[in-house]
Amino acid sequence: METVLVKPARSARKAKGDGHLRRAEILEAAERIFVADGYEGATIRKIADEVGVSSTALYMHFRDKDEILHEICLQAMQALLEQNSEIAARPTDAVTRVRLMLEAYVRKGLEHPNAYRLVFCAPLRGGDTPTRRATAEISSQCYACYSGVVREILAAGQLKIADADCAARALWAACHGVVTLMITQPNTDWGPEGELGRVTVEGLLHGLVAE
């Protein structure tokens, strides 16, 4: 059995994990803690401990704590964008596609409550880090993809109001409300699984879309 030549290297110092390997390792650990304990719970030191490295080392790979956690959210955001694009391309009618998007949105939000909170509920302080801009870019693409389908509904003459953007925002806001409410008050009885989301989306769709 041949052993890889490993540096015995004296010391408790963690071996170099070259380049983006260590970076990915940090992101993984951060995600585990972040998902479990939220933004405040995921401290620099906890993440560093999980990786087995000193807290200072994280600043080699990320500008600050925000960048680490926002990078995680960026991934979730990209997944959402992919999903939205996929739904947008389906050969169904526009109303059905909007419905599917909104349902997927609510589902994703409830599945990743901490990421959702960070992206959609945080006051958006600070501003110009690349990660921040990337997230904004993706989320804007996400919205564009979604509102495009709403505009299709308008074009088909099925929208009861003249402003498609406003309708899109209203539907989004309603779903956002469902997600945030259920996330922040998980102990409240929100009725049968998925009922609140369904009633909200269907109700608003019936109110805004003809037929």
In angstroms, what is the minimal distance from the CB of 69 to a copy of itself? 16
> In the window 111-140, what residues touch a copy of itself (CB under 8 A)?
120-124
CA-CA distances (angstroms) from residue 200 to 182, 195, 206, 209?
13, 8, 10, 14
Q: Does 117 bind DNA (CB under 7 A)?
A: no
| Contacts for 19 with CB less than 8 Å, ≥ 6 apart | none
CB of 146 to DNA, least distance (A): 32
Beta bridge partners of 209: 159
Complex with DNA: residue 126 or 191, whichever CB lies closer: 126
Please give the distance of CA 166 from its chain centroid, rounded to a whole number.
23
Among 178, 25, 168, 41, which residue's Cα sits nearest to residue 108? Answer: 178
Q: CA-CA distance, 203 to 94, in Å (whole number)?
A: 17
Segment contacting DNA by CB under 7 A, of 2-10, 114-122, 128-136, 146-154: 2-10
Q: Sign of the C-alpha dihedral, residues 28, 30, 31, 35?
A: positive
Should residue 36 be labelled a site residue for DNA when binding is judged by CB under 7 A?
no
Q: What is the Rg, in whole angstroms, of the alpha carbon atoms belonging to the chain?
A: 21
Give the range of 17-25, 84-92, 135-143, 202-210 binding DNA by CB under 7 A: 17-25
Using CB under 8 A as the binding rule, the residues of this chain from 36 to 55 that contact a copy of itself are: 38
Contact status: 64 vs DNA (CB under 7 A): yes
Nearest to 66 by CA among 144, 122, 107: 122
Among 20, 92, 185, 210, binds a copy of itself (CB under 8 A): 185
Q: How far is the CB of 45 from a copy of itself (least distance, A)?
A: 20
Is residue 93 near DNA by the rule CB under 7 A? no
- Pick from 54, 165, 210, 211 the residue near a copy of itself by CB under 8 A: 165
Binds 133: which of a copy of itself, DNA, none (CB < 5-8 Å by kind): none
DSSP annotation of 3 reads P
Three-state DSSP at 152 gives helix
The binding site for DNA (CB under 7 A) comprises 7, 9-19, 22, 42-46, 48, 53-57, 59-61, 64-66
